Structure 1
Amino acid sequence: HSKFAAQRFAHEAAPALTSFANSSPAPFIAGIRAARERIVARKEDDRETFLRRRGFSKGETGKVIEMVLSEEGRPPESVFDFVQGITALARTKTNQETRLELEGKAKKLLESAS
């Protein structure tokens, strides 16, 4: 590593870090609120259809629903519930690529709610 690598990194990262520090969490919070309020499935068939239409296999769909049941104590209804289930399922995966793929699907779903 070069003698000035740390200084160069600090200089190059400063604008991004400043922007991040000054940014408002309001859009993120609004997105979470919208995802919690948006009810997309009330029945078991609705839950399965909702996930299957978004590219989840039958096995993954069952596991996501099971994750929500075990963590929340109730079946998923809102977009936020499904996002929570997907990220919980991702945490059980040992393969990083699989985790990232599931997290990407969760992110896309969360963004679709806002």
Structure 2
Amino acid sequence: SNMLDELSKPYVETAIAKGMKPAAMLRKYPLRMAFNPFVADIGNLLPAMVSGSVLVSVVLGLQTIGPYLLTALKSQDQFLAAFVLMFVALLTLIGTMISDVLLMLLDPRIRMGGRAR
């Protein structure tokens, strides 16, 4: 749906009117813009894999970090619970950094640093 939305924008019609080849125009403009929401969501994917596994592993009885976190919270083992939560926070930071770098490479309007005056 993002791609269909981008194809109806004026810059696509302008590129076609100027004689740009359709395949090159698709790669250069609308495809890169349509990927922005997906790439921006990568930051949430890494911690969601760990936190979502808590429910799945408890229900299925798998020996992953999920049951250990639940046991640590029930027995008030603050060090193990804090480690798991800090690990999820670290995954959030890493995921956000990866998505920011990919967005910077994908979209030329996004750059590191502020605007030069």
TM-score bracket for the superposition, by shorter chain length: under 0.3
Given the two structures, how large is their TM-score scaled by the length of structure 2? 0.27
Given the two structures, how large is their TM-score scaled by the length of structure 1? 0.27
Structure with larger Rg: 2
